[in-house]
Amino acid sequence: MSPPLLSRTVFLAGATGAIGAPLTRLLLRAGHRVVGTTRTPAKAEALRELGAEPIVVDVFERDALIAAAVAARPEIVIHQLTDLPPALDQARMAEFVPRNARIRREGTANLVAAAVAAGAQRIIAQSIAWVYAPGPLPHTETAPLNHGAEGPGAVSVQGVIALEDAVLQAPIEGVVLRYGYLYGPGTGSDNPRRPMSLHVDAAAQAALLAIDRGRPGAYNVAETSAGLSTARALDELGWRADFRLPA
């Protein structure tokens, strides 16, 4: 892998998740210093063995999170936090939706505050690509999100809108990666299950590239489909949907 434009200190929230785990490996291989958060001491040890500097902290503990970020002094903060069922088990998804939305609302606000307090230059956050309002296809990043969503999905949509508002309106550079439907290790599926899919390794690569590339704003990140334009990620980030980490 080519070296980064600059070696950075990266504060990675959610460093052991489905995207956080391959992203930790990518960041370390690229020569960055990785300060990774987790909520459990056992996972902290796994991060340490990879070469990252683990911090056990809960994103809802605002003061502790800010103190951890200030101590790390990162140039870049990356938000890959979720609260979803193991292997993205669809049978349990409904019970996790409100919890995941809370991370997007409250957790993101706390993480933005931590990034600003630490003097970070840029915050990069995980969003999703299937919350656009109905309209002409393919959806580009300038299309409106579905502010009028109703029913069970409305909780998720409102959480996404809160996350994106917090990141894109922050007083530092904000980048939102609107990921497609994930597959690969940690997701319960080794293959795409629907259009607009995305392998976790390719999702991680987009976050790595966004450290040094691309203007602030939103980027659709998914495999080719009729419903979504990913031209901006391809052009500005140099992202590749077929990227995979070496075995």
Please give the sequence-ordered ranges of beta strands (E in DSSP) within the chain, or none if there are none: 9-13, 33-38, 53-56, 76-79, 122-128, 173-179, 181-183, 197-199, 217-221
Please check the confidence at residue 6 and state whether its pLDDT lies above 80: no
When pLDDT is averaged across residues 196-209 and rounded to a whole number, the result is 98
CATH number of the domain that 214 lies in? Answer: 3.40.50.720
Cβ neighbours of residue 2 closer than 8 Å, sequence gap 6 or more: none
Please check the confidence at residue 85 and state whether its pLDDT lies above 70: no
Report yes or no on 169 lying in a domain. yes
Please check the confidence at residue 1 and state whether its pLDDT lies above 60: no
Taken as a whole, the chain contains a residue count of 247
| pLDDT at residue 94, as a whole number | 72
When pLDDT is averaged across residues 82-106 and rounded to a whole number, the result is 79
The whole domain housing 103 covers 9-237
Q: Do residues 220 and 12 lie in contact, with contact meaning Cβ atoms separated by under 8 Å?
A: no
The total of structural domains in the chain comes to 1
Report yes or no on 242 lying in a domain. no
Mean pLDDT of the chain: 94
| pLDDT at residue 95, as a whole number | 65
Q: Is the peptide bond before 138 cis (omega within 30 degrees of 0)?
A: yes
Report yes or no on 2 lying in a domain. no
When pLDDT is averaged across residues 139-161 and rounded to a whole number, the result is 93
Tokens of 42: 């056992």
- Tokens 């334009």 belong to 229
Comparing 28-42, 78-92, 125-139, the range with the smallest average pLDDT is 78-92
When pLDDT is averaged across residues 85-95 and rounded to a whole number, the result is 69
Task: Give the end-to-end CA distance of the chain in Å, rounded to a whole number.
Answer: 14
The tens digit of pLDDT for each residue in 221-241 reads 999 999 999 999 999 999 999
Report yes or no on 244 lying in a domain. no
Report yes or no on 177 lying in a domain. yes
The vertex-242 CA angle with 239 and 246, nearest 5°, equals 100
Record the pTM: 0.94
62/224 Cα distance (integer angstroms): 38
Q: Do residues 240 and 202 lie in contact, with contact meaning Cβ atoms separated by under 8 Å?
A: yes
Give the percent of the chain with pLDDT over 90: 86
